[in-house]
Structure 1
Amino acid sequence: MFSAYMVASPNKSGKRGRTTPESPEEAAFLERYEAAEFERPSVTVDVVLLTVRNGELFTLVVPRAEHPHKGRWALPGGFVRIHEPLEDAAFRVLRTKCSLENVYVEQLCTFGEPDRDPRMRVISIGYFALVDARRFDQSHASPRRSGQGTMARVVVPWEGEAGGPVTLVSAETGEPMPLAFDHEDILGAAVRRIRGKLDYSPIGFQLLPERFTLLALQEVHETVLGRKLNKDSFRRRMLASGELAATGEMQSGVDHRPAELYRFLRRSAV
């Protein structure tokens, strides 16, 4: 199973995988091999960057300035370079198009319908990344990000883990934001994945700052799941999970009774 930040171990030459023939016979075979005789598709990565703000789920999209699908919105993505591992390509997309590093990243699945891209046969490896809203706001305000993308609210038309495409609306105007290619399906697959993992994996903590209240953690779960949760049972379950530690600190700058702050015990492992 793919896990966050999984990277193949380099061999003695410093490259991943085996790069030299095992025998003279294999070397001769490779010398004669004509790769150009076979049609080969192009490979891209598309990254679904998700964050939670004010009880709503948001993602980052970039405008398509060229054909195909000119004028539509697209997930941050790019073609995989010939000697580039897939996960490195996903990290590059996050760094160059989202100004984000050291965030939770996980491979989603492969999207390979023959006609998904009208230019040529393109297979896309989907990834999703989770980040708390404050970190995203800081990166989004960077001069490098100016004009490159925008946050859009994710509208999920199905319940539970039914799955299917989702739609986007502008966070500012509420107008629909049509997506290019099959990105509605990629985005829907990411929502389905995190909904399914929320109860058995601590990915919900990746949508929060380092210190958070139990109420903020519950709001993240409710936003991702698209339904309300019982406050008392949720609190008991989280405290009994062994994944939380009280910081001994309280909220500050609030106009109500300050709540205790907690942290995720295994955050550094991600």
Structure 2
Amino acid sequence: MSELLLEIMCEEIPARMQVKAGADLARMLGDALAKAGLTVDNVRSFTGPRRLVFVAGVPARSPDVKEERKGPRVGAPEQALAGFMRGAGLSDISQAETRSDKKGEHYVAILEKPGRDASEIIAEAVPAVMAKFPWPKSMKWGDGTFRWVRPLTSILCVLDGKVVPFEVADIDSGNITQGHRRMGRGPFSVTSFKDYRQTLEGKGHVILDACARKDIISKAAKAVCDKAGLALVEDEGLLAEVATHSKADTGKRAIL
């Protein structure tokens, strides 16, 4: 399986929209690729204040497809034969096979569709998914008509280390990501999810996983309370919300 890594960056995404957006991206892009013949494996999504991330295993190509299309009976009127040939892409009825069943002989067209490279399918699927993405609220910017939750800033899309080229809202896909605005802005070029994550969490000072961000915040809050002789009143809802928009845990590590 080849590795697909997609990162969509924009201005700050409202906290209440992030979790659902990550799930929507995983579902919609996974479904779009599967419909085109690329069965995805090990799908993961990550969200943060400025990014949606999708990573999955995909085949290098979609499979070749062989389809049989049943046509009219042998000796059918010319109009019926012409419609069958037109629909099956045949230039002459001799290109069809004849089969027999209990109703007699009929024509059958054998349609063979060769598989397509995964990069070609992905380049079509990602813009299509983004165009119909179900944000509760979205906006346009500049002179364009494309809508997103906030203005797009970059799109990273690599398949086995190679850029999958496409364009959305005048932004070309590439292999560049950004880190924390002040502590590790970048830009950084990446070739794989492992490289991407290590770069963000190292040079970029960005914690990609929301659960890890929650854990950092929780431990830091407990440490502060313990030092001050206070008891921490835990609030899971508040913790989850803070993890979607906090910029640092103790001022030393960014958790975007």
Return the TM-score normalized by structure 1: 0.23
Return the TM-score normalized by structure 2: 0.23
